[in-house]
Structure 1
Amino acid sequence: MSVKTLRKIPLERFVDLKVDYAFKQFFGTEQNKNITVAFLNAILNLTGRDAINEISFMRQEFGSEHVDDKQSRLDILVKTQDDLFINVEIQLTNQYDMMKRTLYYWSRIYTSQLRKGMGYHKLRRTITINICNFSLFEQTDNYHSIFQLYDNLEKFKMDDVLEIHFIDMNKFIKQWYAKQLDSWENLLARWLMLLGMVDGRKEKVYEEIYLELEELAMKDEELFNAFNVWQDLSQSPEDYYAYQSRLKYILDEAAKLEDTKYIAEQEGLLKGLERGIEQGIEQGIEQGLEQGIEQGLEQGLEQGIKHGEKKMQTEIALKLLKRNTDLETISELTELTVSEIDQLKELLD
């Protein structure tokens, strides 16, 4: 009698399944169809007769309709045995247009079903699933949010054609570490552990998650098979090279975005300094009408410069505090005292 064993590779070798290339190779290929089916059933909580048991991978590109319209390429698009359309997207960074882009993709999939001469009753239920490595909703601590069409007052459903899921991986990881999740009972948690075990951008592997996954895989046949496929993907020289290239591109783009934000922030601080000087001059002029034009202008200019500089120093200090820069370094860069910076830090806590 053979004993089931899980092959082992170095933890640092595992690819991050949240990187879109690895995600598509793992969930979006014909040979891994059974993994995709199990994953979708876990997200949609489908069991028994309602469960998905067969899928077909669909065309993933939508051509441009307008001059400024970018060609849309979906991560994964499948059609189930019941003609249910499901689009799964993996998002590592927040581009701040998530909602509109999600609705746009959903609408393109939904309307693409209609052919000339077909009635609207032929349009089938369409589901979009967004797996995000960032938080979108401050209103909830739930890591899985589901949106549909409901009446505002009595909450009855208008139709089931629209269903949009958001999975917040950051909230999931926090809840897992806080021991608020039971992966032995929660099927979705097991699959999200696969996605969350590796953080390629931080070059981090959560060994505690790996150890629990290893134990779970001994009891869960689908998870066991998925784990071995994940290892095969991580050990393939071609796939690993493509994954590393894609990860580097993502990191470079994120760095460019941070640089753009920093420049914009600095420009904003300079404008704030200019406004502070202007306000100080205006205030000085008003005082000067009472105390003497010459003295007022001098005081106003001096106060304005000090006010503007202080505001800029404070805003820079707050930005650096958010990046966990030590107080002494911030003091050197801003000329604020450690005590002043400490008071600012309390505002962030």
Structure 2
Amino acid sequence: MRSKLLKRVPLNRLMDLKIDYAFKQLFGTEKNKEITVVFLNAVLQRSGRESIKDISFMNTEAGGEYEEDKRSRLDILAVTNNNEKVNIEIQFTNKYDMIKRSIYYWSGIYRSQMKQKMSYHELQPVIAINIMNFNLFLNTDQFHTSYHLCEDNGHFKLTDVMEFHFLEMPKLINDWKQEKLDPWNDTLARWMLLLGIVDHRSKKVYEDIYKELEEIAMKDENLKKAFQGWDLLSATQEEVLAYEARLKQVLDEESAKREAELREKEAKEKALKDGHAQGHALGREEGREEGREEGKQIGLLEGIEKGKLEMARNLLLEGVQLELIVRVSGLSKEEVEKLRTELNN
């Protein structure tokens, strides 16, 4: 298919924008902040907030979620011209409790505003936007749902400082297949479909979505700019190396999770066959369950850490800059430098 927009790489070689690294490189940089503003306004249009005119990007370092975490990085944290903070998280794999994770991040950002001699009145709203490459809510077919703190019966808001948005990619693609979306007139559908064109998990490219958005981009300058930035990003060798390493890590973690779940299932089936799941005291059963869960968590953590080290080692062998390796792997600078020393010896 001849492309009007892609000048550097063919459609099937574009990065999957649902991988956090690619999403951040396109939407989380100052040079592309105009398209990020358009995207944010498309998500927030139903909230009754004033349109965002401008944003600036903030430090995305956050405290570790678990003792084992060296650090935790938010995907994109922006502050609007109205001084509202917006945290955008994109999750390729359903490996966390997304609702509690989002609340956890929200609370940290909200509390971090408080400085000495400030009043609570000065605390500004924090908006959490979660883009997920999996379905989360079973009680709705809507791909975009939003949440506020409201009174149970009257449903009026208690406050506007708390706002959560969840966008589920599989539901969006399903709506597209059923011809329920109109990206010409629905700005949010337009930008979410952009994220759905390339699906590296299933090794699929939606050429029909691309063809539709390509035509729209001839009239939408911001969408055109997004395509051009995506094209350039996918053609930059160092960025591609970092992206492929991150993609491999994500898919390896997904595979490790499935393997752990399979082993747990097999263990339970064996226990049932052996009669261990019957006739035991409740306390002993709870103990076994805790042991299985602890073993599963330890296995996953070990697998994730091993994946980070393998990613960093491969990037070092390819000659990628240390700062970029730290950014994409999640390892500390000291850990990467130690690894580089070991490779040199």
1:195 match: 195
- Aligned partner of 1:101 in structure 2 is 101
- 1:157 deviation in Å? 0.6
Q: Is the 8 A contact 1:91 1:132 kept in 2?
A: yes
Instruction: Decide whether aligned partners of structure 1 residues 56 and 143 sit closer, same or farther in structure 2, where only a CA change above 3 A counts.
Output: same
CA contact under 8 A between 1:233 and 1:239: conserved in structure 2?
yes
Letter in 2 for 1:143: F
When residues 11 and 277 of structure 1 are mapped into structure 2, their CA distance, relative to the original with a 3 A threshold, is closer
Which residue does the alignment assign to 2:38?
38
Inter-partner Cα distance in structure 1 for 2:168 and 2:38? 20
TM-score, normalised via structure 2 length: 0.76
> Which residue of 1 is the match for residue 73 of structure 2?
73
Kindly provide the amino acid, as one letter, of the partner of residue 221 in structure 2: E
Q: Does 1:83 align with 2:83?
A: yes
Matched, 1:264 2:242: no
Shift of 1:275: 2.8
Instruction: Note the C-alpha offset of 1:63.
Output: 3.1
Matches within 5 A, 1:289-308: none
- Partners of 1:168 and 1:278 in 2: how far apart? 40
CA shift, 1:278, in A, is 6.5
SS in 2 for 1:118: coil
What RMSD, in angstroms, separates the aligned Cα atoms of the two structures? Answer: 2.1
Q: 1:194 to 1:262 in 2, by over 3 A?
A: same
Question: Is the partner of 2:165 in helix, strand or coil?
Answer: strand
- Match of residue 6 from structure 1: 5
1:91-130 equivalence runs, <5 A: 91-130=91-130
Cross-structure match for 1:315 = none
Rounded Cα–Cα distance in structure 2 between residues aligned with 1:109 and 1:30: 21
After alignment, is 210-219 or 38-47 more displaced? 38-47
Q: Secondary structure at the match of 1:231?
A: helix
- Residue of structure 2 equivalent to 1:139: 139
Partner residue, 1:211: 211
Aligned structure 1 segments of 4 or more residues deviating by more than 6 angstroms: 46-49, 276-279
For 1:59, the equivalent position in structure 2 comes to 59
Deviation at 1:72, TM superposition (A): 2.3
Whether contact under 8 Å (1:75, 1:87) holds in the other structure is: yes
1:25 aligned residue: 25
Which residue is 1:236 aligned to? 236
How far did residue 6 of structure 1 move?
A: 2.5
Contact 1:16 1:195 in 2 (8 A): yes
Percent identity reads 49
The range that moved more, 239-248 or 57-66, is: 57-66
Give the conservation status (yes or no) of the 8 Å contact 1:93–1:133. Answer: yes
Q: For the Cα contact (< 8 Å) 1:41–1:47, is it kept in 2?
A: no
Contact 2:175 2:181 in 1 (8 A): yes
Separation in 1 of the partners of 2:69 and 2:244?
29
Partner Cα separation in structure 1 for residue 165 and residue 65 of structure 2: 26
What is the distance in 1 between the residues matched to 2:141 and 2:84? 29
Matching residue of 2:149: 149
Q: TM-score scaled to structure 1, two decimals?
A: 0.75
Task: Report SS of the residue matched to 1:150.
Answer: coil
* 1:59-106, Cα deviation, whole Å (9 max, x unpaired): 111235985676321000000111010000000111242111111100
Query: Quick one: structure 1 residues 51 and 271, their matched pair in 2 at CA, closer, same or farther if it must change by over 3 Å?
Result: same
Q: Which amino acid aligns with 2:89?
A: E
Distance 1:67 1:117, change over 3 A: farther
Aligned mates of 1:65, 1:172 — CA distance in 2:
30
Q: Which moved more, 1:218-227 or 1:58-67?
A: 58-67
User: Is the Cα contact below 8 Å between 1:62 and 1:72 reproduced in 2?
Assistant: yes
Quote the offset at 1:47 in angstroms: 11
Number of equivalent positions: 275
Unpaired runs of 5+ residues, structure 2, are 280-345
Contact preservation (8 Å) 1:46, 1:52? no
- Greater CA drift, 239-248 or 40-49: 40-49
Q: Distance in 2 between matches of 1:140 and 1:187?
A: 21
Q: Which of structures 1 and 2 has the larger relative contact order (alpha carbons within 8 angstroms, sep 6+)?
A: 2
Offset, 1:45: 1.3
Q: 1:156 to 1:266 in 2, by over 3 A?
A: same
> For residue 247 of structure 2, what is the aligned residue in structure 1?
247
Q: Could you tell me whether the CA contact under 8 Å between 2:272 and 2:278 is conserved in 1?
A: no
Shift, 1:50, TM fit: 2.1
Q: 1:65 to 1:27 in 2, by over 3 A?
A: closer
2:77–2:88 CA contact under 8 A, matched in 1: yes
Closer, same or farther: CA 219–121 of 1 in aligned 2, 3 Å: same
SS in 2 for 1:227: helix
**Greater gyration radius:** 1
Q: Deviations over 1:242-283 (max 9, x none)?
A: 11111011111111111100000000101121239968xxxx
Q: Distance in 1 between matches of 2:48 and 2:143?
A: 25
Distance 1:184 1:268, change over 3 A: same
